[in-house]
Structures are given as structure tokens and as C-alpha cells.
Amino acid sequence: MLTSKPETEPCCEPSGGCSHAKSTETLVSPETLSLNRRNFMKHSAIVAGAAAAAACSSEDLEKFTQRRLRELSQPELKALLIRLEADYKKKFGKDVDVRATPAAEGVKFGYALDLSRCIGCRRCVHACVGENNQSRPNPEGKHNNPIQWIKVLEMEKEKGIDLSDANPYYNPEEVPREGHFYMPVQCQQCENPPCVKVCPVQATWKEPDGIVVIDYEWCIGCRYCMVACPYGARRFNWAEPHLPVDQLNTNTHVLGNRPRPRGVVEKCTFCIQRTRAGRYPACVEICPVGARKFGNMLDPKSEIRAVLESKRVFILKEDLNTQPKFFYFFGI
């Protein structure tokens, strides 16, 4: 460091009157050949940049320079949706409908789950996977990273709700098992979401209708949100998601169930592609015991309001002030 001459020294300037100035004109001068770290990095960066530009099409550059979804104007958003649809067509060979339906006015989604009805059959878990294009099990493949957004916990009636003693891997012949009850846990769609607070790139936020969503284009996969979430509701794509074409749900939302890339976090969005179109979430519709209730909390005639007004509901980890919009109750 001390012996090398900095470039900014006057004697090395071409305009300078010293003897060095002449030698710089020839290509074989020792100055230009000297491979110091700065020159190396500079040149390698240029070479790498040029190689990247040469290897990638304008589409890839577009992807690389993609801005965050919330900042996009309507035409830009439309262009993004078209690009995503083209990408999926290329990848899956199927027409995938990617929508960006915005939140409706005067809607705040709420969810209630009747713990006295739930029998732990996991129909909701698998309906959710089918609806939301999660990564499927792939035991023989190179990568096996099955993702489920709902986790059903089995607990003992004698002990009550004890999350530290819950078993999500139960697999008896028949459920419900004697002396046990079941508690499905998924994203609680907090009004005060800790996951949103910790995101260093603001790739996750709460929508006006209360759904906490993720911008998959902008998520850097740091998984801070997973650490911050007290409900363990977020999942990470450790590997390239395994999604067979015949199991692809082509009705998608840009903030919800569109196929995700590797390295991003995902979570329950109350089936945003369905609920923003007025339909019930998949888990509500599949539940064989009708334990799951969903609706607009601002509509006095909705069933979620009926639950909130007539049942003693509770929320999970109330002391953390996350203010979930997912309520549990005992209907009997």
C-alpha cells in the first residue's frame, strides 16, 4: 500500500510535466500493466457486467430492475402481470391468469375457527396446498421442500391449549382421537403485524382489507419475518418449488398464490385470489365439519360478525399485541 503510487498524484497525470506522463502513452508501460486490487476489481466488474448483459435478454434485465410492486403505476403493473403470465406459460406450458385485484372499499376480512368442531382431519391443509400452488413433496427428486401454510396442532384435552406440548405430526387411523382436540394455526393476519415491521426491504405489508401480503419480486429471503412471526405462519422456499403442472392452479393473484421462485417467503393470504373475487377461502369450503367462518367484519350481517357478537372468542398470544383478525372460539 505504501509503495504503490496513487493515481491522483500529480506526477502520474497525463497533463503533468513529469517523465511518467510520456510513458503512459505506450500500452506496454508498467503503470497500466500493474495489477493492483482496484484495477482488478474494476476490470472484472466491467467484464462480468458485459457478460451478464450479453447472456441475458432484455426480459431478464427487466426482471433485474423490477421495482417494488407498491410503487408501480397501473400501466407498469399491467406490464408486470403480462410478463409474469408469459413467464408461467413458458415454465408450465399452461395459461396462468395472474390478477392484481385491489382491496374493496369498506372490507376488513376476519376469520373464526370453532375449536369444539375441528376434528383435525387436515382437509383444510391439503385444500390450501391445492389452491395456493405451494411446493409439493418430492421425495425422489433433488429438492424436497413441501410447504403447507396451515399447521394443525393436536393437544390433550386435559392440558388445554398448551402450544409447547402440541403435536403437528399426529397420524392415527381416525380422528378425532380420544381425549384430544385440534387447533389449526395459520397466518393470523395481524392488525399490528410484527413481520411487516422487521422487513428490511418493505417487501411485506398489510393491505387495506387487512390481508398481510408479500411482494415476491422484492423479497430478499432474509427470513427476518419468519423469526418475528409469533405464530410460525411464514414458510420459506429453501429450494426451487416442486409444482407439477397438472396440480397447478391457474387462477392466481400477484400477491397470493402465483407460483413462487426459490428463496422467497410465503404465507396464507386468506386465499386473496378467491376472497377478493367474493368467494370463500378454500379451507372454509373444504372443512367437513364447518368449523371455519369467514367474512367482512365491517358488515353487521356477516357470519364473522355473528360469531364475534355471540361467541366468546379468543386470539392467540394476545399479550403480544399483534391484534390478529383470526379468532378461535368454542361453539358448544
Binders in 76-135 for another protein, by CB under 8 A:
90-92, 114, 119-123, 125-127, 129-131
Measured CA to CA, the distance from residue 200 to residue 230 in angstroms comes to: 18
Nearer to another protein, 60 or 162 (CB): 60
Q: Which is nearer to another protein, 182 or 224 (CB)?
A: 182
The three-state secondary structure class of 47 is helix
**Residue span binding another protein (CB under 8 A) among the ranges 50-58, 77-85, 189-197, 316-324:** 50-58
For residue 303, state whether it binds another protein (rule: CB under 8 A): yes
> What is the contact mask toward another protein in residues 239 to 278, using x (rule: CB under 8 A)?
xx-xxxxxx-x-------------------------x--x
**CA dist 105 → 209, 223, 305 (Å):** 8, 32, 18
Distances (CA, A) of 30 to 9, 20, 25, 35, 139: 16, 10, 11, 10, 59
> Which of positions 139-168 make contact with another protein (CB under 8 A)?
139-146, 148, 151, 168
Which range, of 56-64, 71-79, 187-195, 203-211, touches another protein by CB under 8 A? Answer: 56-64
Nearer to another protein (CB atom), residue 73 or residue 171? 171
Residue closer to another protein by CB (options 196, 268) is 268
Give 177-218 as a DSSP string.
PTTEEEEEE-----SS-HHHHH-TT--EEE-TTS-EEE-TTT
CB of 321 to another protein, least distance (A): 27
Is 284 strand, coil or helix?
helix
